Amino acid sequence: MGTFVVSGAASGIGAATTALLRERGHEVVTVDLRDADVTADLSTARGRAEAVAAVREKAPAVHGVVPCAGIAGLTGVDPALVVSVNYFGALALVRGLRAELAAAGNSSVVLLSSNSVTCQPGWNADVAAACLRDDEEGARRAAESADAVAAYPATKAALAYWARGESVKEEWIGAGIRLNAIAPGMIATPMTDGLRKDPKLGVFADAYPSALGRPGRPEEVAEAIVFLLSDASSLLVGSVLFADGGTDAILHPTKPEGMQVGKIAVGLMHRASAAATRVRALRGKG
């Protein structure tokens, strides 16, 4: 049995994941603003540091981290706050617990992306690019140039791209830490209830097609997350698993791709680092 850390555990997918892990005999350290083992505000650097320190006190070794804490991009929501919580809050937890993940010897991280990355047109690529450069202030400024609805998929895209880029690096997979992401679609949670009540965006709540003809359930996403955390998914590294009832497949029959989204310029250093990783991998095969 392992020890796992789940943020955003008080409701929705985080709560369902926590319940399923505990049902299967694992220990779970929960993180949230309230009703959690560790109460912390992941929107601030201080809150993130406090969360990491508190988790470390409870778990010297961590077998998996699932940063579920997130803010929906709804009307009236501060887009800069969406950036700070969804991307930087999530990665602060993962990076801050890297030593504990390595100490477990075989561990897994599952980041919460979203099918909005491919199914919502016109989101803010500048926000995603700044996130991937670890420029929180720049990402917040870029987000403030538009509504929160454009910032949300940008943060989720950045999480998926970070998982893919970092997953093959020595500091992660070399330490026995697998990085993957899951991209849920419309899931029946308090977050999507808020979308339906949104005066501007509520009309889109049920507009996207689904092969199943219904929203997903948090428990269904939790099953997929727990699979990605388990040894049964040992060959999955840098994967992004769509759990959206077929929405992305309907809209993009050949491959997932963003719609009306500019190219994300992640910078020369990021590209150089990725190229070096590929070269090392190829040499290893030789």
Residues with catalytic annotation?
Answer: 152
Report how far residue 74's alpha carbon sits from residue 51's, in angstroms, rounded to the nearest whole number: 26
Report how far residue 28's alpha carbon sits from residue 4's, in angstroms, rounded to the nearest whole number: 5
Locate 121 and state its tokens: 């047109």
In the DSSP assignment, the letter for residue 286 is -
Check: CB of residue 164 under 8 Å from CB of residue 132. Answer: no
Contacts of 3 (CB under 8 A, 6+ apart): 26, 27, 28, 29, 59, 61, 62, 63, 104
Helix (H) or strand (E) holding 184: strand 177-184
In one-letter notation, the amino acid at residue 280 is R
In one-letter notation, the amino acid at residue 74 is L
User: Percentages helix, strand, coil for the chain, rounded to the nearest 5?
Assistant: 50, 15, 35
Check: CB of residue 240 under 8 Å from CB of residue 100. Answer: no
Classified as helix, coil or strand, 164 is helix
Chain center to CA of 130: 16
**How big is the CA angle at 238 (ends 41 and 21), to the nearest 5 degrees?**
55
Check: CB of residue 66 under 8 Å from CB of residue 6. Answer: yes
Report how far residue 92's alpha carbon sits from residue 244's, in angstroms, rounded to the nearest whole number: 27
